[in-house]
Structure 1
Amino acid sequence: MKRSIILVLFLSLITFNLKSYAHCEIPCGIYGDSLRIEQISEHITTLEKSMNQINELSKAGDENYNQLVRWVVNKEEHATKIQDIVSQYFLHQRIKPVDPTDVEAYAKYTNQLALLHHLLVFSMKAKQSTDLEVIEKLRSTLVKFSHSYFHEHEH
């Protein structure tokens, strides 16, 4: 009986503590790059709504603390999701190092790295404030990255 309880508790801990990631880092070809861009865009829109709600609820005073906290947590989660996609998907798996002597390819590579780094930094800044200018920077940087990443016929 004691072993059964311990086994059930152990299996429960394992099951409930596993995190789900966007991709498993194996070259399966199932996940699509354009979908990741759409997901980032959706997270940016959610950040914007969260910031607007936080600003609105902050003006209302003490009675909205619970809702305010929920929107702050929501904002944090979606900023982190952007960081996860940028890092785990694009930086770890999709953007491949190139030979620096290939000037054109290396310029594209460094541009993409810089744009992805900007997305990471702006996502961090979105966590730190409710400044809607950060949202515009996220959106414009995502568009620039998308244009740099995809071939013209894929837009």
Structure 2
Amino acid sequence: MTARLRTFLPVLGLLMVALASPSALAHCQVPCGIYDDGARVKAMMEDATTIEKAITEMNALAGKKDVQSQNQFTRWVMNKESHASHIITVMAEYFLAQRVKPGEDYEKKLKEHHAVILAAMKAKQSSDMNAVKALNEAIAKLTQYYHIHQ
């Protein structure tokens, strides 16, 4: 890692924290009975695809030193982290808080839903395509519980 990149990373971290939105796009926690689980799973799949694209673009820009490339690199990092955070929020505030309920296969469901959170966290922390693969696989396991409308 170059000295220039080492000095740039803390600034990048501060930018991401400053621009991170605390708002959640998960459904409300009022017992309205209006749910579309499949749409949320599909949205998480789209988030994972965006994370994959971001990592691909980050790798393509990694060696470039011009300001425009550094700007784009920063934007891809922020985008990757935003989409990973969205997955974590939806899993925690929508699925785990509202949809996964004690009953049949409860422990199995908890583990599979938590695996998505862990995979999203690892994808957020790294630029490794294996993390994206694990995230995609974890999300795909949820399709056994939630029908995705085409």
Normalising by structure 1, we get a TM-score of 0.75
| Letter of the 2:78 counterpart | V
Q: 1:66 to 1:38 in 2, by over 3 A?
A: same
Q: What residue in structure 1 maps to residue 114 of structure 2?
A: 117
Q: Which deviates the most, 57-66 or 68-77?
A: 57-66
| Corresponding letter in the other structure for 1:69 | T
Structure-2 change in CA distance of 1:20 and 1:142 (3 Å)? closer
The equivalent residue for 1:128 is 125
Q: Which entry has the higher C-alpha Rg, 1 or 2?
A: 1
C-alpha distance in 2 between matches for 1:83 and 1:66: 26
For the 8 Å contact 2:29–2:98, the answer to whether it is kept is yes
Amino acid at match of 1:124: M
The alpha-carbon deviation at position 33 of structure 1 amounts to 0.5
Aligned match of 2:99: 94
Counterpart residue number, 2:82: 77
Question: Identity, % of aligned pairs?
Answer: 39
Count of paired positions: 127
Query: What is the alpha-carbon root mean square deviation over aligned residues?
Result: 1.9
The question of 1:139 aligning with 2:131 is answered no
| Gaps in structure 1 of 5+ consecutive residues | 1-16, 99-104
**Pairwise mapping of residues 26-45 of structure 1 onto structure 2 (< 5 A)?**
26-45=30-49
Please state whether the residue corresponding to 1:85 is helix, strand or coil.
helix
Shift of 1:18: 8.4
For 1:94 and 1:62, how far apart are their aligned partners in 2?
A: 47
Q: Which has the higher contact order (CA 8 A, sep 6+)?
A: 2
Match of 2:59 in 1: 55
Whether the 8 Å contact between 2:47 and 2:84 is mirrored in structure 1 is yes
| Paired letter, 1:139 | N
Runs of at least 4 residues of structure 1 off by over 6 A? none
Do the aligned partners of 2:44 and 2:87 also contact (CA within 8 Å) in 1? yes
Structure with a larger share of its residues in helix? 1
2:13 corresponds to which residue?
A: none
Which residue does the alignment assign to 1:46? 50
| TM-score (ref. length: structure 2) | 0.77
Q: What runs of 5+ residues in structure 2 fail to find an aligned partner?
A: 1-20
How far is 1:29 from its partner?
Answer: 2.6
